[in-house]
Amino acid sequence: MTSIPHRAEALLVRVLLGWLRILPPAAASTLGGSVARHIGPIIPVSRVADRNLQLAMPQLTKEERRGIVKDCWENLGRTVAEFPHVGRLKQNTPTGPGWRVEGSEYLEAARATGRPVIFFSGHIGNWELMPPVVARFGMPFASFYRAASNPIVDSIIHALRRRAMRMDVPMFPKGARGARSALKHLSHGGHLGVLGDQKMNDGIEASLFGRPAMTASATAVFALRHKALIVTGHVRREGPARLVLVVDPPIDPQPTENRQADVLKLTQQLNDRLQEWIEQEPGSWLWLHRRWDKALYRNMTTTC
């Protein structure tokens, strides 16, 4: 039985999403971005973003970091406000809200192989766009998720994602049980989506922006075990609710006798690709999570 605070929170979420859904997509995006850009930087978690930027891009000035943090919050606000609209955006519109794909030939080629595919991305641009767009290309994928603490809100989020994809696909909880389910899904020829840019304490150490970062190895492990292709991509903004899914050439893992080295090499390759995307447009990434080891942040408080 859900608690009264949970029900009250869920009601607020429903009202907010319903109101955003009534607004035109561009208006919702602009409103969400403007509110988040003005309010977000004064929230304490913005200090985490600033420290992340100092670690990743030490050449930036304080003012440059402040601008990127504002851009980060604006992107997050736009992403949330666009969420109810993602499934209704039209493809290849000449102007205004909509989406298009750069590198669609790579999606077509991946589908033609008939092999399981792991789609790898990060919290860049509107990351909610990738599942429904890839589904339109005939490759709906299951994905990992971290459940919201409020079970009613969690079900609302799931319903919106299913509506955007226009079908029901599995979603696996993060952790050992979810990993086993994902492996079974791949073994049956299904596809999987992974957002692999956040810290994973029980992952492996790979480099990101020249610093050691505990990184989820699931994409590499699963791909090697099931001979799956890895298709990487990220979402770039062209305007309010106007989005581009940029797809890269697929990675076809070639296993050797040293599985541990293979996993590390693949994981590092994915981190390198992620870093390239972030460097292209730093304000489009979600800088609000502690990405590196705690010791790095502690050292900053005494030396910066």
Question: Taking 50 as the threshold, does the pLDDT of residue 211 lie above it?
Answer: yes
pLDDT band at 301 (very low <50, low <70, confident <90, very high): low
Instruction: Give tens-digit pLDDT for 65-90.
Output: 999 999 999 999 999 999 999 999 99
Question: Taking 50 as the threshold, does the pLDDT of residue 304 lie above it?
Answer: no
Question: Taking 90 as the threshold, does the pLDDT of residue 154 lie above it?
Answer: no
In sequence order, what DSSP letters do the residues of the chain get, joined into one string?
---HHHHHHHHHHHHHHHHHHHS-HHHHHHHHHHHHHHHGGGSTTHHHHHHHHHHH-TTS-HHHHHHHHHHHHHHHHHHHHHGGGGGGPPBT-SSSSEEEEESHHHHHHHHHHTS-EEEEE-SBS-GGGHHHHHHHTT--EEEEE---SSHHHHHHHHHHHHHHHTS---EEESSHHHHHHHHHHHHTT-EEEEE--SEEEEEEEEEETTEEEEE--HHHHHHHHHT-EEEEEEEEEEETTEEEEEEPPPB-----S-HHHHHHHHHHHHHHHHHHHHHH-GGGB-TTS--S-HHHHHHHHHH-
For residue 1, the model assigns a pLDDT of: 60
Question: Taking 80 as the threshold, does the pLDDT of residue 293 lie above it?
Answer: yes
pLDDT band at 303 (very low <50, low <70, confident <90, very high): very low
Task: For residue 99, report the phi and psi dihedrals to the nearest 5 degrees.
Answer: -140, 155
Instruction: Give tens-digit pLDDT for 180-203.
Output: 888 899 988 899 999 999 999 989
pTM assigned to the model: 0.92
Question: Taking 60 as the threshold, does the pLDDT of residue 147 lie above it?
Answer: yes
Instruction: Give tens-digit pLDDT for 234-288.
Output: 999 999 999 999 999 999 999 999 999 999 999 999 999 999 999 999 999 999 9
Q: What is the mean pLDDT of the chain?
A: 93
Instruction: Give tens-digit pLDDT for 220-237.
Output: 999 999 999 999 999 999
